[in-house]
Amino acid sequence: MNHRLNESMIQSSRIADAFRRAKAEDRAAFIAYLTAGDPTPDATVALATALERAGADILELGVPFSDPIADGPVLQRAAERALAGGTTLETVFRIARRIREETRMALILFTYLNPLLRRGKGAARQAKGAGFDGVLVTDLPPEEAREFQPRLRQAGLDTIFLVSPTSTAFRMTEAARLSSGFLYVVSRPGTTGARQALPRDIARTVARARKAAKSLPIAIGFGIATPKAARSAARQADGVVVGSALVQAAELAGADREWAVETFARALVTSCRRS
């Protein structure tokens, strides 16, 4: 696959389409997160379809990992449940294939670097074949991505990098340069986890990210847990990411997890409208 063809594929990716559609409808794209295999593969697929019914545009499907340094307690427990059930990267690919068959949402592989390295050089092509549209590697900083990022792009996958309030202007620029699909703005330093409100300095972080991203969409995540917080994020960014709060809703609801997640996600989606 040549570079020019690959760029064309990325420009017409489901992720780019999701942001264009949201912009045309005067809203922020709603990006949901689930840990694959939590509590079972079947449950993950059912939750994904519930999220699409609620109006989710993009789904981040997390690979459970034994040392999730960026995750708070909720996602740590989700990873533990999924790993205890035998979830591997191959399981995640199987789940993704089923979600791709049953939904039209854009799919992002949300992972630490180690599972991809263990899979080998074919991991990017396998992810694309499973139905993923992009990859976000949580512990891959821009400075160390020069070798790995091209493999993902050559496979036709969008690459999404993280920036935070502590990122320098240089790192934001590098993260944006390496990103396609969107640039992910972490709302606060630290781990993931549901919080009641966005930090007071988020507008400053978003302004800096906008300057680096230029025309690339940006999405805010980490800590968005209420419709009010989602509404605030939607007025500042092109996308709103909610993870821990959805996983916690499923965890607390037990057998009623699909209803709980769909109901909660619907309220969040409504809050992403700007008019």
Question: Catalytic residue numbers?
Answer: 60, 71
First to last CA, the chain: 42
Alpha-carbon distance of 191 to 250, in angstroms, equals: 20
| Burial class of residue 253 (count of CB atoms within 10 Å of its CB; 0-12, 13-18, 19+) | middle
Alpha-carbon distance of 45 to 255, in angstroms, equals: 14
Closest CA to 220 of 205, 108, 194: 205
Rg of the chain taking only CA atoms, in angstroms? 17
Q: Which residues pair with 58 in a beta bridge?
A: 31, 106
Three-state SS annotation for 87-151: CCHHHHHHHHHHHHHHCCCEEEEEECHHHHHHHCCCHHHHHHHHCCCEEEECCCCHHHCCCHHHH
Q: Name 223's Cβ contacts closer than 8 Å, sequence gap at least 6.
A: 187, 188, 192, 193, 194, 195, 198, 199, 229, 244
Encoded amino acid at 48, one letter: A
Cβ atoms of residues 175 and 162 within 8 Å: yes
Cβ atoms of residues 185 and 237 within 8 Å: yes
Token pair recorded at residue 171: 């790192």
